[in-house]
Every structure is written in C-alpha cells, then in structure tokens.
Amino acid sequence: MIKTPCVEMVSVKALSDEFGVAFGTSGVRGLVVDLTPELCFAFVTSFLQEVCPNTTHVAVGIDLRPSSPEIAKSVLFAIESHGAKATYCGALPTPALAFYGMQNSIPTVMITGSHIPFDRNGIKFYRPDGEISKANEVAIMNGEVSIPYNFLDKLVQLPSVSFSAIELFKKRYTSLFPESMLQGKRIGVYEHSSVARDVIKELLAHFGADVVSLERTETFVPIDTEAVSEEDIQKGLDWVAAYKLDAIISTDGDGDRPLVADEKGEWLRGDVLGVVCADYLEATHVAAPVNVNTILELQDKECKTLRTKIGSPYVIAGMDKLLSETPDAKIVGYEANGGFLVGSGFEINSQTLHALPTRDSILPALIVLAMSHQKKRPISQFTTEYLKRYTASGRIQNIPTEISRQIIIELRDNKVKQTELLVVIAREGEALEVVSIDETDGLRMTLNSGDIVHLRFSGNAPELRCYVEAKRKLLASEMVDVVLSHIGSF
C-alpha cells in the first residue's frame, strides 16, 4: 500500500512569483487577494527555517487593516508547525512588537502593509536582535518549505491577546521624560486608523497633556507620512485653529513613522524631525538615506554621517557599519518619512534609552514635545534654528515599475531629456545644469543652483517618487509638481 504524503514541498520564490508578492523596502508586500494563506505560511516557515532555525518562541502582531487578522491565522499556524510557541500580541505598533522581541531575545512577525492602500498588506520579520537584513530576505525567498495538505482546515480562531509587549513599550518612554512636561499643553492626536493611536493618547495623558482626539476611523486610511496629502495639510491648519492646539501627533498605519505638526498646524518634514532628534540625543554618528535633507552635512557640527539607499534595512546596515568602526559611538538613523532608529544606547535625564534599530514613531514625537518644554518655546520657533534647506516629495501612482525604471534611465543617459526637464523647472533668467549625479538609489541630480532633484521607483507599490531639496519651501513644492507633471508627459 502506497502511503499518501501529508505535506507538499514548495519553493517560496516560485510561489511568490506566481502571486506577484515580494519584499519591498521593508517587508513583504502585495495585494490582499495574492497574500494567500499558503503563501503567508510559506514566508513565515522559511523565515524560521532559514533565519531563526533554533527559536522556540515567536511573538506576532497586526495592524488595523481588515485583512490582518486572517493573515495572522496562517502566521500563527506556521509558527506552531515549526514547533515553536506563539504569543499573539494583537493590534499594536510595529516598533512595540520589535522592542518586545529584542528585550526577550525572540523573533517577531508583524502583519502590516504600513502606509499603502487597504487592498494591500504585508509581513515584516524581526530577528531577536532587530529587523532582518537584505541577505536574510534572499535566504527567505530561496527557501523550500513543507505545506500541509488540507491546510485551510487546520486554521483556527485567533488566541487571546497578550498585552505584555505594549506595556513594555509604554514603560520605555514613561521613565525618560519629566512626568509633567506637557502640563497645560493641548495636544491633538490625528487617530485615523493608526494602530498607535491609543498608546499615543495614553502617553500624552501620562505626561499631563489635554488630549484632543481627531478623526478616528473604523475603516483603514492609508496615511503616507512622506507624501502628506493636500487634504491632510489643510486638516492640520484647521484643527489647530479650531481647538487651539500646541501640536498634533499622528503616525502611519502601523505606527512606525511619525507625523508631527507644530502649533501653527504645519506638519514637520521627516528629515527635519530627524535632525532635531539627533541633536537632542547628541548623536555622534548618523546613518540616513540619500533622499534626506543635506542639513546633516551643512551643519557646523562634529557628527559623522553615512548615506545609504532608501529603506530601513539599508539604514540599519549603515548603523551597524558605523558601530563596527566606532564601538563607543552614539548612533541614530532617520529617514525622510520620519522613521527614527536608535542604533546604540543613550542616556536621557539619567535614564537609559535602549537601542531600537527599527523605525519608531513615538520617540521622535516625544522628543519634539520635550524640547518645546525645555526651551520654553513653541515647536515652530526652535525648528527654525536649523539651516534653511527645504525638502518636498510627491509621486505618480499606478505606474508600472518597469516604466519608472525606463524613465530614470532615459533621464540619466539622454542629455536632451535632461535639458528638457531643466528648462521646465528653471526660473526666469536661470540656466540650470546638472553638476553631479548620485545613483545610490535612483537618480539624484544636484544642480548648479544648489537645488536637488531625485527620482526613484518605489519598492512597495507601483509608484514613481520625486524628492526635491531647495533653499525655499514653496520652491521645493513647486519643483516637485513641475517635475512630476513633466514626467507624466513622457
């Protein structure tokens, strides 16, 4: 009698190619309909086999997307099939789950699509020491895994939620800053569908703030902190006027990228927020992607900077490189989207801030509020102390990656195309030239005016992104609009 096998061997890469799901700048991303239970099971099983083969315990969390709980069932089943214990932490910010894993020396898996539209989702993987590397991603994709037959019949309801991770995360911050630092302050929390909305309100209240809840939704809203919409820009201005707010705090969907507005209702650019936080912590070394503000290099301060490709795995690799070169360095990383990473331990108010080498939205928001308290000045005043370099960004959505790639190649190699672009962005009487090109990530052109135009295709979605840095705020925004409009005519 021939015994029928109870499992099927599959290639993760073949399965992911079949459904068009792959790793982006941070984690696996794809359409919900393509993130099948079998595919999610395969990715998590390969992660455990190839990256954390000896683990006996894994923590799992989700964001507030409607598809996340169902994906979590496959993730939990994969962990149990591997022979490990699974702790289900429910809905919580990505950095909270990652911090819990690092403090307990266990891997973690976060189901989230971050800021991308609700019809998409994804999975982020963390080793016990932090976010996985690009080399780990390759190993996961090359994995061969066993998937049980009658797979869907084996999925069960989600277990009860453990709140240990979120409680540990809150304690990370309550001991760092003066408990009364927000007394007399009125802080708005733009809640939308951010999984961090409740913990933000709890922390602000802990520090004495009068918290005003703004626009909480039960449907998922894809807030992109790197490309704040015109609608959200206006909301910030309106809310401050209506509620007399000292600041507004928000995040993207999974709570790893902050969005902070000053008392005027103006949202701070993420790379300016990063400079402010690096200064507050007195960092000696900074890793940051090529698209962030060049204030870093232009400041007259002794701080070594390392530019990387865009994406937190590259920033983390940069921080690791800096730490290996200077073991006693005080290292941070930050991104244009506001993501802030702590690469080494710091002392704040005689308390230890432990390293958290993944994006965190809570720390930078609290640092800005703490600086306003310490300087006894509103946020808009102390942020003007930095050099006048302004960045803006925008994107063309629903454009195939291959078309974006071809546009960038043409602009790099075709001088006629380059000149056409320079003519449309030049101001009256200005003769623009490209003086240098950086291809670390996409095409970053520095012009003879000192302005910078940077184009790259997204690793998360079918988008072509444009970043501009200029000496004037309005000019940066105008240049983004002109560049995207011109490229749209290609």
How far from 439 is each of 132, 272, 307, 449, 455, CA to CA, in Å? Answer: 24, 23, 12, 20, 10
Residue with tokens 């999925």: 155
Q: What are phi and psi of 91, to 5 degrees?
A: -80, 120
DSSP assignment, residue 267?
A: B
CB contact set of 490 (below 8 Å; sequence gap of 6+): 407, 410
Residue with tokens 């701070």: 268
Helix/strand/coil for 437: strand
Copy the structure tokens of residue 123: 């999975």
Nearest to 47 by CA among 159, 156, 123: 123
d(CA 480, CA 362): 29
Please give the radius of gyration of the chain, using alpha carbons only, rounded to the nearest integer: 23
d(CA 267, CA 262): 7
Q: How many beta carbons lie within 10 A of that of residue 77, not counting itself?
A: 22
d(CA 402, CA 410): 12
Copy the structure tokens of residue 212: 């005003």
Residue 67 annotated to the active site: no
Beta carbons of 190 and 215 less than 8 angstroms apart = yes
Nearest to 124 by CA among 97, 103, 86, 158: 97
What dihedral angle (degrees, nearest 10) is formed by the CA atoms of 422, 399, 64, 130? -70
Copy the structure tokens of residue 77: 């089943």
User: Burial letters for 389-417: b for 16+ Cβ neighbours within 10 Å, e otherwise?
Assistant: bbbbbbbbeebeeeebeebbeebbeeeeb
**Which is catalytic among the residues 68, 74, 114, 361?**
114
Helix/strand/coil for 109: strand
d(CA 438, CA 399): 23
Element (H or E) spanning 202, and its range? Answer: helix 197-206
- 3-state class percentages of the chain: helix first, strand second, coil last, to nearest 5: 40, 25, 35
Helices 197-206, 362-375: axis angle to 10 degrees equals 30
Catalytic machinery residues: 114
